[in-house]
A and B are shown apart, each in its own frame.
Chain A
Amino acid sequence: MSEIQTHKQALKEKIDELEAKLEILKGELQKEEEIEQHKAIDQLDLYSSDLDTSFNTLKEFMAILRDEFKKTF
């Protein structure tokens, strides 16, 4: 085997190794994200009470809109 071939082979092995590590890291990240998502779902009750505040939200939005309108024009 020529020197170039050996070098290429070594590079390929390194890439494979890195890709395998990357997959492991991706899997770990996904697990972390999923744990975070499960925690957020458990707090769904907190969010559902926010859904009834549309009138207050609109009032607040109108105030911000007025300010931004004055700033822009």
Chain B
Amino acid sequence: MNEVVAKNPTMEGSSNWKQWLGIAFLVYLLLVAVGMIGSGFKLAAGPQAKDLFEFASNPITALVIGVLATALIQSSSTVTSIIVGLVAGGMPVEIAIPMVMGANIGTTVTNTIVSLGMMKQGEDFRRAFAAATIHDFFNVLSVVIFLPLEVAFGFLEKMGAYLANLMVGGESVSVKGFNFIKPLVKPPVEFLKDSFGSIGFTDMISGVVLSILGITLIFFVITAIGKILKVVMVGKAKDILHKAVGRGPISGITSGTLITVLVQSSSTTTSLIVPLAGSGVFTLRQVYPFTLGANIGTTITALLAATAITGGNAVFALQIALIHFLYNLIGVIFIYGIPFLREIPIYAAETLAGLAQKNKLYVAGYMLLLFVIIPLLLIGISELLF
């Protein structure tokens, strides 16, 4: 079947056209889903939304929630879109910031698992595992630097608020009143709300059901978008990579960003590079900037999700989406820009990969440490501090 399509340009064109239509519909569903979470959460929690998230007011707890949720779902785009929806429903931005930072760490589990596919290949595994874990170490370092700064000064919150206020005109997300998303997204959300009401659901139950449906829908929609885009965009991704070969780190970061925007998944981008590094064709230093680009590119989903939000909290939804973008951009500029900091993830990834090549227990120990032991310890310590 695929061969027939490949040989017939008309059929290929028609197939592409259908896939693009499918993607457009899925993006629309993503926006509706984010709108559902926002409206549902607002309906269910009302003015108590802030109190509901009191348990996550400790930034370390919020960070760990972001790490674990993303590691379990294996998609930072899904988690950040849900966070945008929750902020639209009344979750405070200061709680959402560490969650978004945690999503960056949680998403790194995917390419680490991909690198395990080469575990019987000795030297190839060492290189692949280093290429996968360099992303982990960079994101952990970024949190270690920026989370305390954020807690102390709130610089990301302020920058996000400034930019969001610049971009939001009036009461809804619109660039100078040019919001065409709102009339498209609002009717299905309102229809569901009214339908639940007519069945006899109370506001609280309607809100909870709407939020759960929204979260489920986001999960399926982002998975489906990722699957289709991976097929549609693989040719484009190749073109971008070809252009980046031999052109240095800035080009690597840019190509990583562009490919992630195209496939809407940082883990797809960072996982693709793992076998390339494993084979030894690309060095760790060459794939490093590409991985960082994935961090920036993945922020497009939350920005897109924020355009679906209407009402008074739209500005906060846009604020958290912008904070996600700024955090990743500043992280790349700051850490990669300072030679001493730039070397830390390289050294850590190479050391760990060397140990992992000798004994796979180091791999299990590392994953347990990053996703279980350290989070639990941090929560325990922070409960004493905050």
- A binding-site residues for B, Cβ under 8 Å: 30, 33-34, 36-42, 44-45, 47-48, 50-51, 53-54, 57-58, 60-61, 64-65, 68-69, 72
Contacts and interface: CB of A to CB of B under 8 A. Distances in A.
Contact of B276 (A30, A40, A45): A40
A34 B245 CA distance: 7
Given A61-B119, A64-B119, A68-B360, A45 B234 contact: yes
Contact of B359 (A39, A54, A68): A68
B353 to A, nearest CB: 15
A69 B359 CA distance: 9
A65 B114 CA distance: 16
Interface string B103-138: 000000010011011011000000000000000000
Contact of B282 (A40, A50, A51, A65): A40
Contacts of A47: 272, 275-276
Contact of A42 (B238, B268, B282, B364): B238
Interface of B: 110, 113-114, 116-117, 119-120, 230, 234, 237-238, 241-242, 245-246, 268, 271-272, 275-276, 279, 281-282, 359-361, 363-364
Contact of A51 (B272, B359, B361): B272
Nearest to A68: B360
Contact of B117 (A40, A45, A50): A50
Given A64-B119, A65-B361, 6 more contacts: A36-B281, A42-B238, A54-B114, A65-B360, A68-B360, A72-B359
A44 B238 contact: yes
A69 B281 contact: no
Contacts of A30: 246
Given A45-B234, A51-B271, A61 B360 contact: yes
A38 B234 contact: no
Given A54-B110, A57-B116, A61-B116, A41 B360 contact: no
A24 B272 CA distance: 32
Given A37-B281, A38-B242, A38-B245, A51 B116 contact: no
B272 A37 contact: no
A61 B363 contact: yes
B174 to A, nearest CB: 38
Contacts of B120: 64
B281 A40 contact: yes
Nearest to B113: A54
Contact of A40 (B110, B268, B279, B360): B279
